[in-house]
Structure 1
């Protein structure tokens, strides 16, 4: 009897193969689950599967995006199961998690959300997967360099946007000290990206501080589902018709290996290398600076003695030659006094600078290494140990242009998750390497070659001699500059390299080097209580976060061995209830967060989904979001070359005596305004109302539209001030005294044409109002932008050919940041690619290009000019 019971309790193994009904090709990565349970497996690269069940008959559910879900009831385990998988429309059927932290069809999401699948990434014309998001509705992307891109939605665009969360496999991707997200610098390799989910607008209620304008989640491939060895070789050319940089190669090589060792254990490892000569920031327009603000003006180095080129460095050093040099000369040399008295009362002169291509290593290198070990403790609980590490050279735009040289960032996590809960702990380890401020480095390079006291003295005497010889004023200035610059190291010479390296490797303030080694530690968890609550869907979660700021005084006022620590913690709850079955569902959530330096904040969110008919959904939402001032906005203490950036912490104001001796506000024109007393900075918050409509018509047309209106309170920005008693300028962190309003709308459509053709398009707009005079909002978004695309993933013989073409346009607008501000012209860009599938090896050949018209454009004033990249690639074992 005991033997009979044992035999009865043993699992029965079912096996089979899934093939495409249309072309009889094997279909990998299909989810095969036991109906009524959480048990399931995935088909391998040959479409085969094995699954253990406790008893027969059993019903298996087969599902995959792009195919109709099928159920097969099995009564006899001796026969192999053959499934003819029927292709179907994937429009609106993708499953997203970000909208509510629980899985649901994108068509039924209560808030606006966009999703990019790995199939879309594979077929996209972009040269890098991270660039795919710029073709989504309402998205702006600022490119500081080839490998440093910052996406955002609904305004406030800029490099390292602090109002936009980027989360990679559950880990906040923002560098704790440098304050920019590093998703395109480290993150995931292209072959390991499963999908990306984008939440435009307020999203703090579920994802925490920072989600003022959106959250981007990038999720990797599970090694239990995506197995085998894959590699991609992508190579091409760029800098065609570039006047300052010759044609050069572009390389992007990646490898991924994943293996399911057993039903419980699987692992993956991946690496990627990107190498190219970077785009060049070549805006040589004259910029009149007033601290961290200013205005573009006329003039060149030959026509303006006080020329300060946007992408020219070292010429930020300027003095009034008359008051600082000529008047003292008049006092010491009496026979010159009468002549000097006839000269203008103010003669501003700047030192000679170097262009970006002269001071920045043109070789961009980005190397990524990632891996993970997955172990199923039970059929419901999976443990994950994972890490992403990256290093390389790139350029970033902040208050100045920064050369991020040998930057290293690692993220490591340990996670336990099940179908109802997860617990996660991770850390971000930052190492600035040899990163340096280009402005400060070049200014100090000039001082190391010839101190300004000597340089301006030589300039002044040469200027006087030329004037007395009868030269006009401009000619006299040019002669004086040539005299003072005699022996100046030529860019690229060994003398130049040796001296520049000496300066850039010295820590700030003696040189331009950042010695930032800041870290982030995070622990969080979530539990889905829906099975216990029974009458509603209930989700709870919480987190603890610690920043450890360690810059050895080069970025923050910390000292070696005494880092600055900042603690945060938070908790959230979400309750959802279907009020009228298949007609109305309400969801309410709320989150509380506390930073040790600021009062706690509560952010609620309420959403409603109304279904007037099948596949027609109206969504309404009231959302709030907030952010604490960033680590730099709290603690930065940095001489930026054109003024000192200081954080909001009171001790920094005390350090520079700005409380007892308040500074005066400086207008964009350089005029002095009222005195600015110390005021405690508050967290910034936004309240947003949104309405949207999404509909799938005849299974062929997917329409999505939204409109929103938001109010920002305690808007965090910077102001330039001048301490009159010391003559020193500061950029301080303040709250705008009034509420700032934003509003906008977006509309997109995707239509399935015959023969597998798909056409899509979108149009969106964002605007801002009520920005107080004297405050810079950094809204930085066009009033109108559009995207239009046409694609086909399979046509011709055996449907092996594919293509994708995308056109995007945006109108011009006034761009502003701490580095520079001015008009940004409109531009339009066309990306295109054609592909050919090799089914036997599950491989793909692709020929493509970004900005194929090679119409150079800038995504921000002072950022590089972006031209075309033309490439060919071969990807092995990617058709999953």
Structure 2
């Protein structure tokens, strides 16, 4: 017994001796606490983080003396010496001398300085959020070098890098706390419409270019990472309120509101919760262009008028007046006639709104770094989305629900993303079917022809008019006659028909956009470094995703029930520093497999070298292959968009799309039937090139079904500090194989394309329909470009930054006129910023300048030139520490020169705002 007691006392004493406790507080240069700072034992994978008040407690079996490294994003690292047990430290962090010292995670899935990142990366943190001149942190991202933001509407901005952008940008991935923010049925991100509250953003990182080796098929042209604040580290109640106005020539001056609240609390060292809500309301940018892109310079007197933001006038036909009256050919002639349309302003709801809510529970069962998380996000919004048509998205909602377990070495998360289209509808089909609800197309065109013929003959015979003047007058009379009884906006009859149409999901009679698509995703990552004594940073991971398409047959060919399919992947990465930590090697490879396609391997290799006596120059080169799987719409869409029918080319989709078309009287005489059934496969196997038909030399084409797109990307870059100047530059060259794009073809209702007979008569008789096919290009498509940014301080502590971006597409458009790349990026862009975060005590300001070169916009809605534009934004801010508040006054586009970034959208006006943020 005595020996047992002695042994127990010895064991207790050894355990007591083995435990070292260190407490401390971390503050900034203004003596303000720094929450979320990392406190790590040097040379060991042990550490903790500071709480909301900057305090920490660290327990270790390591015996003093040793060192702790304290790091926080936006601050320079500090080493603190621990010489005794129960020591209390007071640590002051100084602001990072340059942005190159800031820590990023996205480039390698492990924390590292921007200076040492193996690829290009842009970062936007708490400091940048405070100083942004834009009305929102998301809008402020457009001031980063190499980053484009195309404004679709007030609440929907589309981010892109290195070209190939439309508003349906499925080449760019956005992750919110590791969850893909892509709308499952739409296949693209709706900006921050259903994203993250500004109060909960800890950092934003953007990787330009391909990143498939770590992030899979969606990471093809760039990734945006948003990371939220952990409730253990950022506690308390925060709030902001913004108000102001939007100003646009078409819409006038309108109120703008944006409010948000965040609440977070840690009950102890094991359990913490947080909740966010933000609400934005305003008047959207009105789109009111009435230009006729098909007939530049023509006005509404043109009988075939098709206005850009006028809908319903897409319905047109070739009227042979001589055949209708039984006259000899050439007596009256023929003309293409379009129905009278409605302007977008009477069809769309311009009340823009975004409501974002989220709730999270964080549980640390052992009070250490092992953490279990549930996070639920629900976003709801009203906006305008421009795809093949302009869609009034009212009450759209998207949910994300995630369960995750993680620590410093691994994570495993599973989440669900689902969308509900709400009361969204297609404005073009709303106009088309409101017109048809009071008078069918056949009746309208018959009445038009019946009024035109006598008016034309009378103008010549009784009025003595020339044929041209008689035709102009007759067209006006005929349209007035055919429009007799037309529904007038604002009347009860119009409103009744309009409401009936936008609640009908059958596009032959309605315009409602129905979608309840979802996907389920599981992914994980494990860092093996701590198991091999930090010899190298080795990571392994993988993912699995299942799609469930559910549009009730309104978007996809799923009228008989939801369509499901899946994809999966796995990767490994090794990162190793050598030669006095100056040389850094990063190598990774990923294998991905989609249910419909062969597997694909995406390798990446990066070499970086830090030079200079003070290690202030970093050179890097990288090469990688990436791929992009066809989207859900590329595979399974089956949609009549008016101008063309869109049919996805999944092998089991082509014969799911079956449509019935009416045959002209001339065609009926040839084939002996009044209707024909056309399947989706016909568009791929029996069609003419649209451009060849328009040029007068029809050429039969066969379109291959779609397969994954591949990219080989090369990049070289330099980051460094030269005196007072911080320089960050990079250049890239991308080579594409099997480039995914759309080809529009013309399908004859009868005959075989290329037969030289019956099918040509079908084209002549108007018995044909345009189809948009989804395929891959066999042509060479390359792009290249670069960025350079220089930051410095002038006049003491004034911040000045200038950057330039160049992008170029290498593609022979003349040789392949039917192929659409949708590069949609200016060749030259210049951005500059000037400000001071502490002009005098607690007062700061910032200016942002952007110039964009003109470029050609190419998309399914419309093509055209986007003129060059210049934008100036500015803000001033004042901090009141006693009430933990920041007041800001700012405005975007202060010069008032309205501009647009895509053909068909409303002009972007000015936004003026004042905000009050409490406990940011």
* TM over 0.5, shorter chain: yes
Instruction: Classify 1:487/1:6 alpha carbon distance in 2 versus 1 (closer, same or farther; 3 Å).
Output: farther
Q: Measured at CA, do residues 39 and 753 of structure 1 come closer, stay the same or move farther in structure 2, by a change above 3 Å?
A: farther
Is the 8 Å Cα contact of residues 850 and 869 (structure 1) preserved in structure 2? Answer: yes
- The residue matched to 1:633 in structure 2 has which SS? helix
Q: Give the SS at the match of 1:236.
A: strand
Is structure 2 residue 839 aligned with structure 1 residue 840? no
Task: State how 1:410-489 maps to structure 2 within 5 Å.
Answer: 410-470=399-459, 472-489=470-487
Mapped contact 2:21–2:86 kept (Cα < 8 A): no
Q: Equivalent of 1:347, from 329, 335, 355?
A: 335
Offset of residue 563 of structure 1: 0.9
**Which of the numbers 349, 355, 358 marks the counterpart of 1:370?**
358
2:803 paired with 1:762: yes
Match of 1:541 in 2: 541
- Give the Å deviation of 1:485: 2.1
Structure 1 residue 542, shift from structure 2 partner: 0.7
Partner of 1:292: none
| Equivalent residue runs for 1:209-248 within 5 Å | 209-240=217-248, 242=249, 244-248=250-254
Q: Counterpart of 1:310?
A: 308
Secondary structure of residue in 2 paired with 1:650: coil
Q: Distance in 2 between matches of 1:761 and 1:578?
A: 32
Deviation string for 1:34-88 (max 9, x for gaps)?
5555554444454444445567757544333444433344567778644444445
The answer for the alignment partner of 1:578 in structure 2 is 577
Does residue 805 in structure 1 map to residue 812 in structure 2? no
TM-score with structure 2 length normalisation?
Answer: 0.89
In 1: Cα distance, 2:96 partner to 2:555 partner: 55
Q: Residue 254 of structure 1 corresponds to which residue in structure 2?
A: 260
**In 2, Cα distance between equivalents of 1:41 and 1:139:** 35
Where 1:119 maps in the other structure, the secondary structure is helix
The answer as to whether partners of 1:849 and 1:870 remain within 8 angstroms in 2 is: yes
* Greater Rg by CA: 2
CA–CA separation in structure 1 for the residues paired with 2:865 and 2:86: 72
Call closer, same or farther: CA 1:84–1:689 in 2, change over 3 Å: closer
Tell me the secondary structure at the aligned position of residue 139 of structure 2. Answer: helix
Contact 1:173 1:183 in 2 (8 A): no
- Superposition deviation, residue 468 in structure 1: 3.3
Q: Does 1:866 align with 2:908?
A: yes
- State the Cα distance separating 1:308 from its structure 2 match: 0.5
User: Aligned partners of 1:85 and 1:716: how far apart in 2?
Assistant: 49
Counterpart secondary structure, 2:127: helix
Deviations 1:232-268 (A, max 9, x none): 101110125x1x3231101111111111111121111
Q: For residues 231 and 14 of structure 1, what CA distance do their matches in structure 2 show?
A: 34
Query: What CA distance in whole angstroms lies between the structure 1 residues aligned with 2:267 and 2:427?
Result: 50
Q: Find the counterpart in structure 1 of residue 586 from structure 2.
A: 587
Aligned counterpart, 1:293: none
Q: What is the CA-CA distance between 1:770 and the residue it aligns to?
A: 2.7
Deviations for 1:88-124, whole angstroms, at most 9, x for unmatched residues? 5143111111111111100011111111112201210
* Correspondence for 1:300: 299
- CA drift of 1:479 comes to 2.5
* Correspondence 1:170 to 2:165: no
Matched residue pairs, number? 853
- Give the Cα separation in 1 of the matches to 2:633 and 2:598: 18
Q: 1:330 matched to which residue of 2?
A: 325
Q: CA deviation at 1:511?
A: 1.2
Structure 1 residues 589 and 13: CA distance shift in structure 2, 3 A: closer
CA contact (8 A) 1:140 1:157 kept: no
Measured against aligned partners, the alpha-carbon deviations of 1:781-803 in whole angstroms (never above 9, x if no partner) come to: 1111110111211121xx21111
* 1:795–1:53 Cα change, 3 Å: farther
Q: Does residue 383 of structure 1 match 2:372?
A: yes
Does the 8 Å contact 1:659/1:678 carry over to 2?
A: no
Q: 1:208-239 CA deviation, whole Å, 9 max, x = no partner?
A: 10322111111111111111100010111012
- Check 1:20–1:190 CA distance in 2 against 1; reply closer, same or farther (3 A cut): closer
1:784 lines up with 2:828 in the alignment: yes
Alpha-carbon separation, structure 2, partners of 1:259 and 1:538: 35
Contact 1:117–1:194 under 8 Å retained in 2: yes
Q: Larger deviation: 273-282 or 80-89?
A: 80-89
Residue-by-residue CA offset, 1:446-499 (whole Å, 9 max, x unaligned): 101221222222222332343233263222212222232233222233332221
User: Does the 8 Å contact 2:900/2:908 carry over to 1?
Assistant: yes
Change (3 A) 1:495 1:39: farther
Greater shift in the superposed pair: 82-91 or 477-486: 82-91
C-alpha distance in structure 1 between counterparts of 2:875 and 2:868, whole Å: 24
Is the 8 Å Cα contact of residues 261 and 277 (structure 2) preserved in structure 1? yes
Q: Does 1:131 align with 2:139?
A: yes
Secondary structure of 1:710's aligned partner = strand
Cα distance in 2 between the residues matched to 1:648 and 1:490? 41
Structure 1 residue ranges without an equivalent (≥5): 289-295, 332-336
Pair 1:773-2:816 in alignment: yes
Q: How far apart are the structure 2 equivalents of 1:594 and 1:45?
A: 44
Which residue pairs with 1:639 in the alignment? Answer: 640
Change (3 A) 1:395 1:286: same
Q: Distance in 2 between matches of 1:551 and 1:816?
A: 27
Deviates more, 1:675-684 or 1:821-830: 675-684
SS of 1:306's equivalent?
Answer: coil
Q: Tell me, yes or no, if structure 1 residue 605 matches structure 2 residue 607.
A: no
CA distance in 2, matches of 1:150, 1:18: 38
Q: What corresponds to 1:405 in structure 2?
A: 394
**Paired residues of 2:332 and 2:456 also in contact (CA < 8 A):** no
Give the Cα separation in 2 of the matches to 1:651 and 1:341: 49
Separation of aligned partners in 2, 1:784 and 1:490: 46
Which whole-Å CA distance do the structure 2 matches of 1:239 and 1:506 have between them? 34
Aligned pair in 2 of structure 1 residues 586, 85: CA closer, same or farther (>3 Å)? closer
Per-residue CA deviation, residues 177-206 of structure 1 (Å, 9 max, x unaligned), is 112213411111111111111111111111
Write the distance in 2 (CA, Å) between the matches of 1:127 and 1:685.
37
- In the alignment, the residues of structure 2 paired with residue 768 and residue 708 of structure 1 have an alpha-carbon distance, to the nearest angstrom, of 12
712-721 or 71-80, larger mean C-alpha shift: 71-80
C-alpha RMSD over aligned residues: 2.3
Aligned equivalent of 1:705, options 716, 729, 741: 729
Match of 2:100?
92
> Aligned to 1:496, what secondary structure does the other structure show?
helix
Distance in 1 (CA, whole Å) between partners of 2:21 and 2:581 is 37
Aligned equivalents of 1:580, 1:78: Cα separation in 2: 38
| SS of residue paired to 2:633 | helix
Residue 517 of structure 2 corresponds to 518
Quick one: distance in 2 between partners of 1:24 and 1:102? 30
Report the Cα distance in structure 2 between the residues aligned to 1:634 and 1:88, rounded to whole angstroms: 48
Q: Which position in structure 2 is the counterpart of 1:620?
A: 621
After superposition, the Cα gap between the structure-2 partners of 1:272 and 1:287, relative to the gap in structure 1 and judged at 3 Å, is same
1:659–1:677 Cα contact (<8 Å) kept: no
The Cα shift of 1:739 comes to 2.1
Conserved? CA contact 1:691–1:708, under 8 Å: yes
User: Which of 183, 192, 197 in structure 2 is aligned with 1:189?
Assistant: 197
Q: 2 CA distance for matches of 1:812 and 1:677? A: 35
Please report how far the alpha carbon of residue 761 of structure 1 lies from its aligned counterpart in structure 2 after TM superposition: 0.9
SS in 2 for 1:446: helix
Who is 1:291 aligned against?
none
From the superposition, tell whether residues 673 and 374 of structure 1 become closer, same or farther in structure 2 (CA, over 3 Å): farther
Does residue 674 (structure 1) correspond to residue 699 (structure 2)? The answer is yes
- Which moves more between the two structures, 748-757 or 712-721? 748-757
Query: 1: distance between equivalents of 2:628 and 2:91?
Result: 51
1:738 to 769, 775, 779: 779
Question: Shift in Å at residue 540 of structure 1?
Answer: 1.0
Cα distance, 1:649–1:71 mapped onto 2, change above 3 Å? closer
- In 2, the alpha carbon distance for the partners of 1:492 and 1:668 equals 44
